[in-house]
Structure 1
Amino acid sequence: MRTSQVERDGGTIAYEVHGEGPLVVLAHGMGENRRSFRHLIPLLVEAGYRVASVDVRGHGDSSAHWPSYAPAEVGSDLLAVVRTLGGPATLVGSSSSAAAVVFAAGDAPELVNGIVQIGALVAQPRPNPAMRLAQAAVLRSPRLFGLFHRTLFPGGRPADDAAYRKELVAGLRGRMAAVRGVIAPVAPHWTARAADVRQPVLVLMGAKDPDFADPGGRGSGRPPPLRHRRSPHDRRLRPLPARRPAGGHRCPARRVPGGDHAWLGPGSPRRRWSARRPASPTRSVTSG
């Protein structure tokens, strides 16, 4: 698949496009690259979507060094991809990029018809001193990051996991500043912008995601209020056993008990998420 580039102030953002249909833009988490969605992309293409998988600034084939890796800047990069391809689009952000899609949706609502957050961090983690030292070492060493990466999939790994990780580690050489940068504390936090999001939102939390001791309890704190008018179609999302890797986190890929999966964007043709046809558009949030 051909890699495309979009010019930004300070570098270029790499992405690749698959399929035809309503646009979905995928943004991976810390230390990953666009191939982290390699198992999700075929499902979305089969379901009738055009899928753009992006290398977040500093990662993959995007430029390595940037003055800022803040989620607002990453969100602007995603909007640049949408403008290039022709929007609107549904933005899917995993882990650190879950913050970026909120900024993008608030800044350019005409380009974003919905967002999906996978494993979003609601509150800034507060590790103990020993954990802080371990994190500092991991975030400066591609090899240690590769060892850490193996712990992200306790529910099972795909057959190509080892080969992907070897490629991932090799690609992180000279790029660890970006790995640290996308998770560095910044102001405003994405939760301060959540009230600006008027589009449908789907939040996915993996029940076996090691980053969250209590995904059903919204991980690290309660999700912020979203100014979204509730409708009879709204559903609540319960954590489900992980089935498929997506962007660095394990996320559910089964029908939500007592609810339906969301469309990827309001007004879209009746397409399927995870190859299942929903009954109606929804906004989903994690349940307690």
Structure 2
Amino acid sequence: MSDQTQYLDLPGGRLAYDDEGDGPLIVCLPSMLDLRSQFRFLKPRLLEAGYRVVTVDQRGMGESSAAWPEYGSTPLAHDLMALLRHLDAGPALVYGCSNGAAAAVYAAAEAPELVKGLVLAAPFVRNAQAGLAMKLTMSLFRIPGLALPLYMSYYPKWEPKRPADFDEHAALLKANFKEPGRGKVIASYMGMSHDEAEARLDKVTAPVLVIMGTADVDWPDPAAEARWVAGRLDGEVVMLDGAGHHPHVEFPAEIAEAVRAFDARL
């Protein structure tokens, strides 16, 4: 398999992904409004562990089409199911971060034959309870001209233990948003609902590993949220001290080992 960009044409647009390795399949979904290169540190470790690794650009992002009829965790779940059927490699391990976790839950509930296990990193599988300040911030993200600078100013909070190439990755992300047709992508994702994922939690039968960082700013009590998710899905929890909302960027070696150990128990 090659790590060159491949594409899957879907009714609403074109999904970009890369596919490398020849072992058991693991499909990785990055967090909302980021690039599949978010897995640039975890992917080589998974390949070294013997996996076939597919990383995906969410609709609107990276090399996927800019314009889609809708955005969010539920549309991403349908993209994931279509990709798994296209890859036709049997049940896969799915690693979903943030809203990618919601998509993974939805897919596992609706198409259990496609998913052998779920690794949910910094998972949003239900809507967060936003206070007044957060609601005001979310409304500002929908104002043309403010969305991009606001988003890029918030982005560093998700990686408190910044990698050496943080600035380079952030520059690539900002450049991606400025490509033709992507100007409304940020606003299109803000305010999306995870209700459909939450409604399917009790239908998931695949084994689940929840990974959460203690410094994840998206939750007032990250450990409590991890316990709640794991409790609803009868899953295991790995807490990473000091990790933010993209734990695989900050602790790739620890996560690769946790994934390998989890998969060995399946």
Shorter-chain TM-score: which interval?
Answer: 0.7 to 0.9
Shift of 1:280: 4.7
Q: Kindly indicate whether residue 117 of structure 2 is the aligned counterpart of residue 114 of structure 1.
A: yes
- Is the alpha carbon distance of 1:278 and 1:135 closer, same or farther for their aligned partners in structure 2, counting shifts above 3 Å? closer
Listed as ranges, the gaps of 5+ residues in structure 1 are 229-234, 256-271, 283-288
CA contact (8 A) 1:209 1:250 kept: no
Normalised by the size of structure 1, how large is the TM-score? 0.78
- Is the alpha carbon distance of 1:72 and 1:108 closer, same or farther for their aligned partners in structure 2, counting shifts above 3 Å? same
Task: Give, in whole Å, the separation in 2 of the partners of 1:72 and 1:13.
Answer: 15
- Structure 1 equivalent of residue 216 of structure 2: 209
Deviations 1:235-282 (A, max 9, x none): 742522146984788668548xxxxxxxxxxxxxxxx73586569516
- Is the alpha carbon distance of 1:7 and 1:281 closer, same or farther for their aligned partners in structure 2, counting shifts above 3 Å? same
Q: Kindly indicate whether residue 232 of structure 2 is the aligned counterpart of residue 225 of structure 1.
A: yes
- Is the alpha carbon distance of 1:274 and 1:176 closer, same or farther for their aligned partners in structure 2, counting shifts above 3 Å? farther
Alignment partner of 2:213: what SS?
coil
Shift of 1:45: 0.4
Deviates more, 1:55-64 or 1:118-127: 118-127
Task: Give, in whole Å, the separation in 2 of the partners of 1:213 and 1:35.
Answer: 28
Task: Give, in whole Å, the separation in 2 of the partners of 1:80 and 1:178.
Answer: 22
- Is the alpha carbon distance of 1:182 and 1:280 closer, same or farther for their aligned partners in structure 2, counting shifts above 3 Å? same
- Structure 1 equivalent of residue 151 of structure 2: 145
Alignment partner of 1:59: what SS?
coil
Shift of 1:77: 0.8
Alignment partner of 1:48: what SS?
coil
Shift of 1:180: 3.8
Shift of 1:116: 1.2
Greater helix percent: which structure?
2
Task: Give, in whole Å, the separation in 1 of the partners of 2:16 and 2:124.
Answer: 25
Listed as ranges, the gaps of 5+ residues in structure 2 are none
Paired AA for residue 120 in structure 1 = P
Q: Kindly indicate whether residue 170 of structure 2 is the aligned counterpart of residue 168 of structure 1.
A: no
Aligned length: 257
1:157 to 162, 176, 191: 162
- Structure 1 equivalent of residue 24 of structure 2: 22
Paired AA for residue 199 in structure 1 = A
- Is the alpha carbon distance of 1:251 and 1:99 closer, same or farther for their aligned partners in structure 2, counting shifts above 3 Å? farther
Task: Give, in whole Å, the separation in 1 of the partners of 2:201 and 2:74.
Answer: 12
- Structure 1 equivalent of residue 40 of structure 2: 38
Paired AA for residue 224 in structure 2 = G
CA contact (8 A) 1:39 1:245 kept: no
Shift of 1:43: 0.8
